[in-house]
Amino acid sequence: MKILIIGGDKRLVSLKQILNDNNFNVETSYLNSNDENLKSLNDFDIIFLPIPFSKNNFLNAPFYPNKITTENIFSSLKNFKGIIIGGFDKNSEETLKNMNLNFKNILKDEKFTLINAIITAEGTIEKLIHESEESLFELKVCITGYGRVSKALARRLKPLCKELVVYNNPSINFVYAQIDNIKVRNIEHFKDEGKNFNVIINTIPSLIIDKKVLDTLDKNTLIMDLASLPGGVNFEYAKEKGIITHHYLGVPGKVSSKSAANAIFNYFKDELK
């Protein structure tokens, strides 16, 4: 079986090593600065694409010096007969379907996304400790949203900080927060209450921290946005206000690449069964 890895962050660098250690024949394109351009794709049985696949319509390939458009990748894949594995948004998934390609969206696998959420939570806490000038036990923290990442993060962060409040829509996740014994408030209250926190962590991929919210915040407030592009913060206005923001994406590839790569490899093995 021949495998090609196209682009990707440290997770796919680690995945290459894991695949090699398990005696798979692996080649790469756009993964490292010295990689060649795309090979003849039908020489391969499996293609791994990045997680997420793209950023602003370019291949997610942080270690390759040039930008590669997603259109270029789709064009190269049009006659591929093997299996494609990657992390795709709705638009990319629709394109792959329309091309009648055999693809697996790893972001729809419950086990993988749970492991991903745990690693993201751990990495976020590490980042928060590094970026804050105060100890966690002195910080009042709020999290907007209560999806997979927020659940994993809130459960780990609650014992460490002075106060933790989750803001979410009245929904099943609102109930889950209550079951987890996490203080939860309707998201409608956030615009008036965000000013009460030292740290705001957003996980909702829509504009939550807008100009009105930013105008109420102390300039020493630390904002961490974990939401996918374009995020949930008016970053330009926050910069004007002198408020520190971090759009912290692809966390598993930054803090625990080997564990994240193992999760991808285990998914791959399950798909081969």
Indicate whether 187 belongs to any domain. Answer: yes
pLDDT at residue 229, as a whole number? 86
Say if residue 117 is in the same domain as residue 103.
no
Give the pLDDT confidence of 149-193 residue by residue, as tens digits.
999 999 999 999 999 999 998 889 889 899 999 999 999 999 999
Please give the structure tokens belonging to residue 55.
């950023």
pLDDT more than 70, % of the chain? 99
pLDDT at residue 33, as a whole number? 81
Answer yes or no: are the C-beta atoms of 224 and 124 closer than 8 Å: yes
Q: How confident is the model at residue 227 (pLDDT cuts 50, 70, 90)?
A: very high
Say if residue 92 is in the same domain as residue 74.
yes
pLDDT at residue 39, as a whole number? 66
125 contacts: CB under 8 Å, gap ≥ 6: 136, 153, 156, 157, 160
Say if residue 118 is in the same domain as residue 249.
yes
Q: Name which of 109, 124, 117 is nearest 146 in CA terms.
A: 117
**For 7-114, where are the E strands, in sequence order?**
25-29, 46-48, 54-55, 58-59, 83-86, 102-105
Please give the structure tokens belonging to residue 9.
């962050």
Residue 144: give the domain boundaries.
Answer: 113-253
Q: How confident is the model at residue 138 (pLDDT cuts 50, 70, 90)?
A: very high
User: Residue 16 in 3-state DSSP?
Assistant: helix
CA distances 152 to 78, 212, 217, 249, 262, Å, are 38, 29, 26, 16, 19
**For the chain, where are the E strands, in sequence order?**
2-6, 25-29, 46-48, 54-55, 58-59, 83-86, 102-105, 140-144, 163-168, 183-186, 199-202, 222-225, 244-247
Say if residue 130 is in the same domain as residue 240.
yes
Indicate whether 193 belongs to any domain. Answer: yes
Indicate whether 148 belongs to any domain. Answer: yes
Answer yes or no: are the C-beta atoms of 4 and 47 closer than 8 Å: yes
Residue 154, CA atoms < 13 Å, CB-side half-sphere: 29
Indicate whether 51 belongs to any domain. Answer: yes
Answer yes or no: are the C-beta atoms of 257 and 13 closer than 8 Å: yes
Give the pLDDT confidence of 32-67 residue by residue, as tens digits.
887 777 768 888 999 999 999 998 899 999 999 999
Give the pLDDT confidence of 72-111 residue by residue, as tens digits.
999 999 989 999 999 999 999 999 999 999 999 999 999 9
Say if residue 227 is in the same domain as residue 146.
yes
Q: For residues 66 and 18, what is the distance between their CA atoms, to the nearest angstrom? A: 26
**Burial (CB count <10 Å: 0-12, 13-18, 19+), residue 151:** buried
Q: Given CA atoms 257, 263, 268, 269 in this order, what sign does their dihedral have?
A: positive
Average pLDDT, integer, range 219-246: 95
268 phi and psi angles, rounded to 5 deg:
-60, -45
pLDDT at residue 271, as a whole number? 84
Q: For residues 29 and 16, what is the distance between their CA atoms, to the nearest angstrom? A: 12
Q: How confident is the model at residue 28 (pLDDT cuts 50, 70, 90)?
A: very high
- Structural domains counted in the chain: 2
Indicate whether 81 belongs to any domain. Answer: yes
Please determine, for residue 140, whether its predicted confidence score (pLDDT) is greater than 90.
Answer: yes
Residue 166, domain CATH: 3.40.50.720
| pTM attached to this predicted model | 0.89
Say if residue 101 is in the same domain as residue 183.
no
